[in-house]
Amino acid sequence: MRTTVNLRDEALRLGKKVSGERGLPLGEVLSEAVLVAFGERALATQQQEYDLPTAGEGGLAPGVDLDNTSALFDLMEGR
């Protein structure tokens, strides 16, 4: 639905920032913000895809086993 509202400058700036970060239209971001504020639903409950930085091609670094969290923590802490 199309409508006109008056927003404070800081609210519009934040809405545009979130819109750009999430790649969503400003209207959708503002609609979700209103629904969250009044307890209807949360955008955070929807699954989102993220681009994770990588060190390059070739998979995991030597010694990294994602199925063994204890060993992974040891590796990250330099043990």
For CA atoms 21, 53, 57, 64, the dihedral sign is: negative
Helix (H, G, I), strand (E, B) or coil at 52: coil
Q: What separation in angstroms does the CA of 57 have from each of 26, 53, 54, 61, 64?
A: 36, 11, 8, 10, 15
Could you report how far apart the first and last alpha carbons of the chain are, in Å?
58
Structure token digits, residue 53: 């930085």
Phi, psi for 19 (deg, rounded to 5): -55, -45
Per-residue pLDDT tens, the chain, 79 aa: give them: 888 999 999 999 999 999 999 999 999 999 989 988 877 665 555 666 777 777 667 777 777 888 888 888 888 887 6
> Which sequence spans correspond to the domains of the chain?
1-49
Amino acid at 30: L
